[in-house]
């Protein structure tokens, strides 16, 4: 029989045994829930401790990203100078002119090989009776012409003596218009001078003194060079010799720098061939 209770009527309390059973069940559920929360909290704490997570969520064990090595980064002019100066030499020559009058000249060279071979401009040593090198450490040595390439105004010298510490230059590297470059040389007797600028043009051509074919494929640059720089290195911002300085352009013919210098690319200087009678005016 279904018993209908009037609205608002109180529900009679269950017997004590039933109330006790309900309390035991609720207490058990509460204890299980609290235990589960504790276990979950401990698990999260252990996980964070093991991973070492910080506020930014980055695990402590993550390896740092790679960074470029110092040798790959561009060098300052001061760093280039310090690196390349031990590879640069002062060249001094003596001889006689067509009237048998004594004459002397000077220029620059760069150590291009571990055997001490010096690369320079041919017109620096052309016709010289004596050639003397002065290394950065002050060591002096006589040298002889080893090979020459008149078509590129390039010569190689073999020294009779090497410095206590021989430092060949790093040769190579291309050139692009706008690239930073440094020149090291001995302009006007001011030994081991450095200047800086940029590559101004590529594949330039200089006519020979007699209007001949001249030299093609030259690097044009605006780092200041003057007589005495000839034969010296043109260097990029990685410390690589990218060319050998051979000439400057000056409409007045005075042989002083006005912002246009020329260098034979290092690849051509080391093995290029061609025809021509040199350039004008030489440094």
Name the more confident of 261 and 61: 261
Cβ pair 105, 122 in contact under 8 A: no
**Of the candidates 188, 189, 214, 234, which has an alpha carbon nearest to the alpha carbon of residue 280?**
214
DSSP codes, the chain: -PPPPPTTPPPPPPPHHHHHHHHHHHHHHHHHHHHHHHHHHHHHHHHHHHHT--TT---TTPPPPP---GGGSPPPHHHHHHHHGGGEEEEEEEEE-TTS-EEEEEEEEEE-STT--EEEEHHHHTT-SEEEEE-TTS-EEEEEEEEEETTTTEEEEEESS--SS--PPEE-----TT-EEEEEE-GGG-TTEEEEEEEEEEEEEE--TTS---EEEEEEE-S---TT-TT-EEEETTSEEEEEEEEE--TT-S---SS-EEEEEHHHHHH--------SSB-
Query: Going from the N-terminus, what domains does the chain have, and what CATH number goes with each?
Result: 87-270 (2.40.10.120)
Active site residues: 123, 153, 230
Quick one: average pLDDT of 194-204? 96
**CB under 8 Å to 280, separation ≥6 — which residues?**
206, 207, 208, 209, 247
> Contact, 12 vs 18, CB < 8 A?
no
Q: What is the rounded average pLDDT of the residues 168-186?
A: 94
pTM, to two decimals:
0.70
Tell me the pLDDT tens digit for each residue of 14-67: 555 555 455 455 555 555 455 554 445 444 444 444 444 444 443 333 232 223
Residue 123: pLDDT over 70: yes
Mind listing the pLDDT tens digit for each residue in 62-112? 232 223 223 478 999 999 999 999 999 999 999 998 888 999 999 999 999
């Amino acid at each position: 029989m279904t018993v209908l209770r009037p609205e608002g009527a109180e529900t009679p309390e269950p017997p004590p045994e039933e109330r006790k059973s309900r309390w035991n069940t609720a207490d058990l559920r509460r204890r299980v829930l609290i235990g589960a929360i504790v276990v979950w909290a401990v698990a999260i704490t252990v996980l964070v401790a093991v991973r070492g997570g910080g506020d930014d969520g980055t695990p402590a064990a993550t390896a740092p990203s790679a960074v470029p090595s110092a040798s790959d980064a561009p060098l300052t002019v001061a760093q280039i100078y310090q690196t390349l100066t031990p590879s640069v030499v002062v060249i001094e020559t003596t001889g006689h002119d067509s009237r048998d009058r004594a004459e002397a000249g000077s220029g620059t060279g760069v150590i291009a090989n571990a055997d001490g071979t010096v690369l320079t401009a041919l017109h620096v040593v052309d016709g010289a009776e004596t050639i003397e090198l002065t290394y950065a450490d002050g060591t002096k040595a006589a040298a002889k012409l080893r090979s020459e390439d008149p078509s590129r105004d390039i010569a190689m010298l073999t020294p009779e003596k090497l410095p206590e510490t021989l430092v060949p230059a790093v040769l190579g590297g291309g050139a692009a218009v706008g690239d930073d470059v440094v020149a090291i040389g001995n302009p006007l007797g001011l030994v081991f001078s450095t200047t800086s600028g940029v590559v101004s043009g590529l594949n330039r051509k200089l006519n020979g003194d007699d209007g001949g074919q001249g030299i093609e494929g030259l690097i044009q640059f605006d780092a200041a060079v003057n007589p005495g720089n000839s034969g010296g290195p043109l260097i990029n911002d990685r410390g690589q010799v990218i060319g050998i300085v051979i000439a400057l352009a000056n409409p007045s013919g005075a042989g002083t720098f006005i912002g246009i210098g020329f260098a034979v690319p290092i690849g051509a200087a080391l093995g290029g061939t061609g025809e021509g009678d040199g350039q004008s005016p030489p440094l």
